[in-house]
Structure 1
């Protein structure tokens, strides 16, 4: 899954980490560790959403004729679309996919020549070339049933973007504060 990123209005992250590494490798290591922990609140909220009750089953109920209004400005048209019926959720069941998604949530620090960022990402489990963390984010998705040629509909949990948007300002303030503190400490000791 592509992650949640934002720009930081601070000194060049790569240059700052390089200067800190020359001055004090321990300070550079501590700054990277603190930057990686800046997204912990967002990740905790995402993990909380993934540990709730299991979503209920979804069954295709039939077809319905609907008006489709294209976003590119073309004329609206009538088309058949599937209708679904959702059941109640449960507390038990297999939690393997959600556990792997929870384990893959990380805050990544990149300080390269081309790009410098601090991002909350999900590596997520891969299945057949698909990142299942991205698939599970959808409201409804289809997957093959083990041992059968049929496909089943499953209800996903939109877990990623809500906590990321709600916690973005707080994370941005943490990152900016950490970078300003490190730059001030470097300037004071030089």
Structure 2
């Protein structure tokens, strides 16, 4: 089950439940086909996300110092704060990466047609480790983790894979969803 801050992208649709009820009453196979097509509407976005996750591993990251910077929070007064400065290194090709393969496998498009909410969403079920959704952690630009076999922690560069392709493909996905729903309504009106 996804938490409030898990990577998730959603289209809210008007009364999908009654449309599916009408389709099932008219032709049950048509309802199944429409639901399947809606689940496939996010395939292009998911393919781009998986391509990012298949690419080069992110390089190491290390703290190089700190600087005084103005911070502009929403709805509050700006203030000066000390922020860390990081340097990133070159990534590497290949290597065994079970985490990224589990994140790739968890990416999916789901259709919800309940009493209170109707939507089509792209989300990841992501692997969980000690209560953390690792798909969310990997999405960050930088995260900290314990070093295996040593006492201490290290910074690691993340791999923002989710939101870029989602924002780039949002209009295309909206068109696909609208076309699928228009075709379903047209089929109902013919019958």
TM-score by length of 1: 0.91
> What are the within-5 Å matches in structure 2 for residues 5-20 of structure 1?
5-8=10-13, 12-20=15-23
2:33 match:
30
> What are the within-5 Å matches in structure 2 for residues 83-122 of structure 1?
83-122=85-124
Partner Cα separation in structure 2 for residue 69 and residue 177 of structure 1? 44
Q: 2:146 aligns with which of 104, 129, 144?
A: 144
The answer on whether the counterparts of 2:59 and 2:90 sit within 8 Å (CA) in structure 1 is yes
2:3 match:
none
2:161 matches 1:159:
yes
CA displacement at 1:36 relative to structure 2: 0.2
CA displacement at 1:77 relative to structure 2: 2.4
Partner Cα separation in structure 2 for residue 149 and residue 115 of structure 1? 47
Aligned partner of residue 6 in structure 1, secondary structure: strand
Equivalenced residue count is 185
CA displacement at 1:145 relative to structure 2: 2.0
Partner Cα separation in structure 1 for residue 123 and residue 178 of structure 2? 19
CA displacement at 1:24 relative to structure 2: 1.6
Aligned partner of residue 84 in structure 2, secondary structure: strand
2:60 match:
57
Partner Cα separation in structure 2 for residue 181 and residue 74 of structure 1? 51
1:131-184 Cα offsets, whole Å, 9 max, x none, are 111111111111122233311211111111111111111101111111111111
Runs of 5+ unmatched residues, structure 1: none
Residues 103 and 75 of structure 1, relative CA distance in 2, 3 Å threshold: closer
Partner Cα separation in structure 2 for residue 107 and residue 130 of structure 1? 22
1:133 match:
135
Aligned partner of residue 92 in structure 2, secondary structure: coil
